[in-house]
Amino acid sequence: MQQANSINHYKQQGIVLVIALLILMVMTVIGASMLGSATLKERLAGNLQQKQVTFQAADSCSNLVLQDSILVNQAALNIGTTVQNNCAAALQVANATSSLLATGTIRDCPGTDPSLARCYQIIVTSDAALGNGGAVSQTIQTVYREIPNL
């Protein structure tokens, strides 16, 4: 009777080894899939950061142009003209440009009595791109320049 128990005991040790190897194999597959997922998330975070940098550069470029009263006045006087401004040096972002376009429409100013003043509509379009990442952003801002009625 003791002989039968000792034979069973030795057979069970092999099954434990097989189960342990199966568990290790499943853990390895799970670890490898998590590693691939982490790499993808890292790429997504990098792309989002590049997109935010280009958006902020384009927005800053628009604001830089709008603060330049000479450019704004020149565009308001020359309706339908486009004035280019390269903002890349000021913003330290590759390919950051802005164009200022006076559209030629004279319209009522928002919040102003039409008998007192009219407005030029000025559109500022800014583009920014990172050369190495391929991220591109564009912002468009509309400004109304008030012109008193004479």
Q: Residues 9-64: pLDDT tens digits? A: 555 667 888 899 999 999 999 988 888 788 888 888 888 887 888 788 778 777 77
Please choose, from the candidates 102, 80, 103, 99, the residue with its C-alpha nearest in 3D space to the C-alpha of residue 138.
99
Tokens, residue 145: 């320049």
For residues 66 and 79, what is the distance between their CA atoms, to the nearest angstrom? 16
Work out the average pLDDT over 123-128.
77
| pLDDT confidence tier of residue 86, bands split at 50, 70 and 90 | low
Contact 143, 122 (CB under 8 A): yes
Give the start-to-end residue ranges of the domains of the chain: 2-148
Contact 65, 71 (CB under 8 A): yes
- With vertex at residue 141, the alpha carbon angle to CA 139 and CA 144, rounded to the nearest 5 degrees, is 170
Residue 114 has pLDDT above 90, yes or no: no
